[in-house]
Chain A
């Protein structure tokens, strides 16, 4: 079985963000990138399937700073092939463009199953899974938290609100948006990752023309602003406490 896992790096929320001078995007000067949490689960699910039933796992990611570390860590976990995708990524491509370009590449890899994170916090134009499935002409099921493969079918567990779990069957090839792997993403010792850096090579492929059309255009990106009805509390804890007391008094709750 051939499992393809497209993953991406997203801005790490540990840093405070600022908006660049254009006012429509994040300032990348201090941006620290981290693997999209759901993509990390997609990798784990792929490795679990490989351990259970045998599979060839290929991880794909766009070539941005930090991608090598991500790919070597995935190899240390058990991925068989790691590929980075080159192209005009710096200019800020959206999921529409990425899905179109990746579909061509993934088709050539002849996947039986594609696993990707169900969403990412920087998806401004929809998550990539359904778009990719559309361009590949494959069925898509999202919010998956468990996968079993038998023959040319997969049985998947899909999460619904209210704690409901649906179990459904899908014909392969198919694309699944992973909400959570069956176990938390595993830890790999740094020595194993370093070993991969010495022994495994990253394959590089070119993203063809990047066509961003069909996506919303960002007119303005901004930090949360004080609304007319909002009262902002002081950052000083004592002042904030006093403000709160007065507010509660005004509202008649104290």
Chain B
């Protein structure tokens, strides 16, 4: 009997799997054991129609179109807990989750809250839709005056990439001012881009808007190339991640440090200046993009332990197992969407842990965290005495 070749149009699952396979470490998707660790550790895995493990199963079963019909992938906060725990080291967050969001976004399936953050980022260079002209307004009244490179034109040692929330959010501006105070106390010659700075774009990328990320990165890259500086520092782990791991592939490569690294390097100079005691039990929350993603666990703790009077206690989940505040991967702009699905905030779980270890202060090192944790504190009666402070606020306090 004669056989005829059947022409085969690749299904969405096949095309998508192929694109994942081509990505960094993409071949590892074939090594999934279906152990379910990723789905179990995922902070919102319990309510996803397809938690990460089932997504991979759906891909293999040629049924990924079913995954694309649900919206629960928008519960993913890109915290890397799944990628961290995976015994096969499959790039679940960087590959699967991010690419799925990209496909949903290309198909126009974007929750409206996220849509406005993306539109604002495109239009104003920041997700909150603030005037770009006001990006350096937080510097008003700071002495000595903060160098804005476009205005002052002098070469600096350090370019401080301030970031969106540190520039505009009233609570996070306090952290920004504290960092300015510490840099000035150390006599650092630094400058900022001010109105010429755009969002780093990393969270937009992880929320599926790769094109927007590239556009923002190119804008920042053009500004970096205009000025003279030796390295970049930032208080934002998301900006740090973008500058360190993502910008170089776009041809924008500069040495970059998170401020905790920068200050820990200068601990011998800094420590004698820390004269005021901060008498408190302090627990430190490892931000996903500082800790799990970039392996910076020691420097924040070195800084905290240098503060006189401070007693550092660890929460049950710390370092690589740290819990997400809920702000990553677009979570910062999906609060309503995620509340509707979960009726729980990830930040509340963390605050419960801080209370459980008897902390008076929950120390953080990411600009998403002070507002998220402070909101959580307000909803948890046992946490009424808990304060949320960025590490650099505690250092600035200890400077007196």
A164 at the interface (CB under 8 A from B): no
Q: Smallest distance from the beta carbon of A168 to chain B beta carbons, Å?
A: 30
Q: Is the CB of A190 within 8 A of B209?
A: yes
Q: Is the CB of B105 within 8 A of A187?
A: yes
Question: Chain A residues with Cβ under 8 A from B139's Cβ?
Answer: none
Given contacts A14-B129, A14-B130, A194-B211, contact A189 B124 (CB under 8 A): no
A188 at the interface (CB under 8 A from B): yes
Query: CB-nearest residue of chain A relative to B123?
Result: A34
Q: Is the CB of A191 within 8 A of B211?
A: yes
B131 at the interface (CB under 8 A from A): yes
Query: CB-nearest residue of chain A relative to B116?
Result: A187
B196 at the interface (CB under 8 A from A): no
Which of B106, B129, B130, B131 is the one whose CB lies under 8 Å from A191? B106
Which of B102, B118, B124 is the one whose CB lies under 8 Å from A187? B118
Question: Chain A residues with Cβ under 8 A from B102's Cβ?
Answer: 189
Interface residues on B, range: 20 to 34
A30 at the interface (CB under 8 A from B): yes
Query: CB-nearest residue of chain B relative to A16?
Result: B131
Q: Is the CB of A184 within 8 A of B112?
A: yes
Task: Mark interface residues in B379-390 (1 if CB within 8 Å of A CB, else 0).
Answer: 000000000000
Query: CB-nearest residue of chain B relative to A66?
Result: B123
Q: Is the CB of A15 within 8 A of B110?
A: no
Chain A stretch 192-218: residues in CB contact (< 8 A) with chain B:
192-194
Q: Is the CB of A189 within 8 A of B106?
A: yes
Query: CB-nearest residue of chain B relative to A188?
Result: B108
Task: Mark interface residues in A64-96 (1 if CB within 8 Å of B CB, else 0).
Answer: 000000000000000000000000000000000
B122 at the interface (CB under 8 A from A): yes
Question: Chain A residues with Cβ under 8 A from B212's Cβ?
Answer: 189-190
Query: CB-nearest residue of chain A relative to B102?
Result: A189
Q: Is the CB of B106 within 8 A of A192?
A: yes
Q: Is the CB of B215 within 8 A of A190?
A: yes
Question: Chain B residues with Cβ under 8 A from A14's Cβ?
Answer: 124, 129-131
A121 at the interface (CB under 8 A from B): no
Task: Mark interface residues in B197-228 (1 if CB within 8 Å of A CB, else 0).
Answer: 00000000000011110110000000000000
**Bound complex: CA A193 to CA B108 (Å):** 13
**Bound complex: CA A184 to CA B112 (Å):** 9
Question: Chain B residues with Cβ under 8 A from A189's Cβ?
Answer: 102, 105-106, 209, 211-212
**Bound complex: CA A3 to CA B106 (Å):** 25
Question: Chain B residues with Cβ under 8 A from A30's Cβ?
Answer: 133
Q: Is the CB of B130 within 8 A of A187?
A: no
- Please report A residues at the B interface, Cβ cutoff 8 Å: 14-16, 30, 34, 184, 186-194
- Please report B residues at the A interface, Cβ cutoff 8 Å: 102, 105-106, 108, 110, 112, 115, 118-119, 122-124, 129-131, 133, 209-212, 214-215
6 new A-B contacts at CB < 8 Å, known A184-B112, A187-B119: A14-B131, A187-B108, A189-B102, A190-B209, A191-B210, A192-B211
